Amino acid sequence: MSQYQAEISWQRAANEAFIDKRYSRAHQWQFDGGITLPASSSPHSVPLPFSKPENLDPEEAYVAAIASCHMLTFLWKAANAGYVIDSYHDSAIGYMNKNSRNRLAITNVTLRPQIAFSKAVSEQDVDRLHHEAHEECYIANSVETRIDIRGTWEVRGARSQEPESTRTGAG
């Protein structure tokens, strides 16, 4: 069984009373590889100046984790199938809404990968790779969030294709 660790650290500033709720939400995330990231609450949740919009917030990290896992699994599936990918770029978006329990949650994430292949590939093959990547992505299998994949792909020097497919979290 694998384990994953993150250390989250926050410190109240000396001039912050805390109980008045006027304290900084800025904090740090540290990972076992040694990287430290500045984090904060989202300014959509906690107004400025108590949030730091330039810092990573948990909602952004959640969307990034879903997109990154899908990409890594897609690349692996494509390599195993013999396809050569030159680039993969995703502008993923997460949407906050009320869930089935009437609680705020990121209920939908739309992945919009733009993929460049070196050689010809069919729309059906790209759709199959996305489907298989979604089915095997650890993060997608861990969440209830609906995940839509609305990407584009091209073969270098050819016109773009626009397959659309919808995948739902939790398999």
Residue 51 carries which DSSP code? S
CATH: 3.20.20.70, 2.40.37.10, 3.30.300.20, 3.30.360.10. Which one for 58-168? Answer: 3.30.300.20
Q: How far apart are CA 159 and CA 150, in angstroms?
A: 17
Task: Say whether the peptide bond before residue 47 is cis (omega within 30 degrees of 0).
Answer: no
Is the predicted pLDDT of residue 68 greater than 90, yes or no? yes
**What was the pLDDT predicted at 163?**
47
Q: Are 109 and 94 a contacting pair, CB within 8 Å?
A: yes
To the nearest whole number, what is the mean pLDDT of the chain?
A: 90
The CATH 3.30.300.20 portion of the chain extends over 58-168
Q: How far is CA 140 from CA 60, 106, 137, 148, 149, in A?
A: 16, 13, 5, 11, 12
DSSP string, 118-152: SS---HHHHHHHHHHHHHH-TTGGG--SEEEE--E
Least confident of 78-82, 90-94, 136-140, 152-156: 152-156
pLDDT digits (tens, 9 = 90+) for 149-158: 998 888 876 5
**What was the pLDDT predicted at 158?**
55
Is the predicted pLDDT of residue 9 greater than 90, yes or no? yes
Is the predicted pLDDT of residue 169 greater than 70, yes or no? no
pTM of this structure:
0.86
Is the predicted pLDDT of residue 117 greater than 80, yes or no? yes
pLDDT digits (tens, 9 = 90+) for 21-51: 999 999 999 999 889 999 999 999 999 999 9
Is the predicted pLDDT of residue 167 greater than 80, yes or no? no
Task: Calculate helix-pair angle for 58-80, 123-136, nearest 10 degrees.
Answer: 120
